[in-house]
């Protein structure tokens, strides 16, 4: 195939975590990208097959340190490093290297907001300014032209797929937005914590990051306030569920349910990855696992003027690495859906 001749060269920084591995999975059937470098500071020198045996069928470069990568040969770097590390690394990369960052470091445009939610001053404020917020369906043109795209929070993405069209259309009460999220555990990454052990996580559920403290609130504030032209503060709490992939967002809203449904149907009519279900039907995370799809359902209530809108996506794919690849496709001039039309895995 001719395409081979023009394959774009990719580096994945931080390839030993779940989002890095998910990028490799997605790129493995993409005709236009070629993985040229994979980094992992603590696991440098190891093969990907030893770190992620599920990738052993692929011919991949071994993990190396970031300072071993020749970035002059790289067309685009995915940066799947931990928060705070990301800004320190990106600051030192060539200033013309195109980057899709999957960390939280460049999501907030306002340095004060960053400091408020992340508890420290930003380490690369000049780069922060140029970053484009990576919610593809709403920033397509900016992303296409961007040097640095900041991947969104997975919870923030799920909530915004519900809320952005409704805020824009003015069909919900902006002061009464409640977002009750149910999240799979892979969103917490490969962190070694007692509450993430199978023995302590399976067969039970609990809230976390309660009381209006979850950092993704910074993204909601920034994006919804911008859309509304006024301050919008939602009430949002995630709950940790005994499953690996998937976010189920239940938005409790004041507004006319049928009108809400109509706004969402119209807004997403031409989006390939976003499916609005018939009115009254509800989505399941089972139906999007491993895929880049979003399913949204709208239901009314016995009390008029109230609605619940539920949205589901796979946090590692559409909520993170799938979104990143969708953005990279735009940046490199490929079809936005290239490599991303894999069907979900069920059961």
Residue 113 parent element (H or E): helix 111-118
Q: Is 68 exposed, middle or buried (0-12, 13-18, 19+ CB in 10 A)?
A: exposed
CB of 194 to a copy of itself, least distance (A): 6
Using CB under 8 A as the criterion, what x/- string covers residues 177-196 for binding a copy of itself?
Answer: -x-x-x--xx---x-xxx-x
Q: Which of 31, 53, 125, 170 binds a copy of itself (CB under 8 A)?
A: 53
Sign of the alpha-carbon torsion through 257, 263, 264, 265: positive
Look at the block and give the residue holding tokens 């490599």.
Answer: 339
Question: Which one of the spans 37-45, 130-138, 146-154, 267-275 is the region binding a copy of itself (CB under 8 A)?
Answer: 267-275
CB of 59 to a copy of itself, least distance (A): 12
Instruction: Supply the angle between the helices 18-27 and 322-332 in degrees, to the nearest 10.
Output: 50
Say if residues 71 and 6 touch (Cβ distance below 8 Å).
no
CB of 277 to a copy of itself, least distance (A): 8
Residues 28 and 23: their CA atoms lie apart, in Å, by: 8
Q: Binding to a copy of itself (CB under 8 A): which residues in 143-172? A: none
85-97 residues labelled b (16+ CB within 10 A) or e (exposed): ebbebbeebeeeb
Q: Is 317 a catalytic residue?
A: no
**Which one of 79, 154, 183, 317 is the catalytic residue?**
154
Q: Which is nearer to a copy of itself, 145 or 210 (CB)?
A: 210
Question: How many CB atoms lie under 10 A from the CB of residue 155?
Answer: 25
Question: Which one of the spans 7-15, 75-83, 175-183, 223-231 is the region binding a copy of itself (CB under 8 A)?
Answer: 175-183
> Which pair of structure tokens corresponds to residue 244?
């690996």
CB of 229 to a copy of itself, least distance (A): 20
Q: Is 112 in the site for a copy of itself (CB under 8 A)?
A: no
Q: Which of 32, 218, 290, 322 binds a copy of itself (CB under 8 A)?
A: 290
Q: Which of 61, 225, 286, 332 binds a copy of itself (CB under 8 A)?
A: 286
Residues 45 and 36: their CA atoms lie apart, in Å, by: 15
Using CB under 8 A as the criterion, what x/- string covers residues 76-105 for binding a copy of itself?
Answer: ------------------------------
CB of 227 to a copy of itself, least distance (A): 19
Residues 91 and 267: their CA atoms lie apart, in Å, by: 37
Q: Is 333 in the site for a copy of itself (CB under 8 A)?
A: no
Q: Binding to a copy of itself (CB under 8 A): which residues in 243-262? A: 243-246, 248, 250, 252
Q: Binding to a copy of itself (CB under 8 A): which residues in 18-47? A: 18, 21, 24-25, 28-29
The order of strands in the sheet holding 274-276 is 206-207, 235-240, 178-183, 247-254, 306-313, 294-299, 274-276
> Which pair of structure tokens corresponds to residue 64?
């190396």
Q: Binding to a copy of itself (CB under 8 A): which residues in 193-232? A: 193-194, 196-208, 210-213, 217
**Closest of 212, 78, 95 to residue 149, by C-alpha:** 78
Residue 38 parent element (H or E): strand 33-39
Q: Which is nearer to a copy of itself, 136 or 285 (CB)?
A: 285
Residues 123 and 121: their CA atoms lie apart, in Å, by: 6
Q: Which of 20, 159, 255, 283 binds a copy of itself (CB under 8 A)?
A: 283
CB of 126 to a copy of itself, least distance (A): 30
Catalytic residue list: 154
């Amino acid at each position: 195939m001719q395409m081979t001749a023009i394959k774009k060269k990719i580096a994945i920084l931080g390839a030993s975590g779940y989002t890095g591995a998910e990028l490799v999975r997605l790129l493995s059937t993409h005709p236009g990208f070629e993985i040229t470098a994979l980094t992992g500071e603590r696991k440098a020198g190891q093969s990907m097959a030893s770190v992620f045996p599920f990738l052993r069928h692929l011919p991949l470069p071994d993990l190396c340190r970031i300072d071993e990568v020749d970035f002059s040969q790289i067309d685009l770097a995915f940066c799947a490093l931990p928060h705070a590390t990301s800004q320190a690394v990106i600051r030192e990369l060539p200033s013309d290297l195109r980057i899709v960052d999957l960390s939280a470091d460049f999501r907030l445009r306002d340095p004060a907001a960053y400091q408020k939610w992340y508890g420290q001053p930003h380490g690369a404020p000049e780069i922060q300014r140029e970053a484009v917020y990576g919610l593809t369906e709403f920033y397509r043109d900016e992303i296409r032209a961007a040097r640095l795209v900041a991947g969104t929070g997975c919870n923030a993405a799920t909530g915004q797929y519900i809320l952005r069209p409704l805020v824009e259309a003015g069909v919900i009460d902006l002061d009464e937005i409640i977002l009750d999220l149910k999240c799979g555990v892979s969103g917490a990454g490969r962190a070694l914590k007692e509450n993430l052990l199978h023995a302590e996580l399976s067969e039970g559920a609990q809230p976390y990051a309660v009381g209006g403290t979850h950092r993704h609130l910074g993204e909601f504030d920034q994006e919804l306030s911008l859309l509304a032209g006024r301050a919008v503060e939602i009430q949002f709490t995630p709950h940790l569920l005994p499953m690996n992939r998937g976010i189920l967002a239940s938005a409790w809203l004041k507004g006319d349910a049928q009108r809400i449904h109509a706004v969402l149907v119209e807004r997403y009519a031409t989006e390939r990855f976003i499916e609005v279900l018939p009115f009254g039907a509800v989505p399941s995370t089972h139906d999007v696992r491993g895929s880049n799809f979003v399913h949204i359902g709208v239901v009314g209530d016995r009390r008029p003027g109230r609605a619940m809108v539920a949205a589901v996506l796979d946090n590692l794919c559409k909520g993170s690495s799938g979104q990143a690849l969708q953005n990279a496709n735009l940046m490199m001039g490929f079809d936005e859906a290239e490599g991303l039309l894999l069907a979900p895995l069920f059961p």
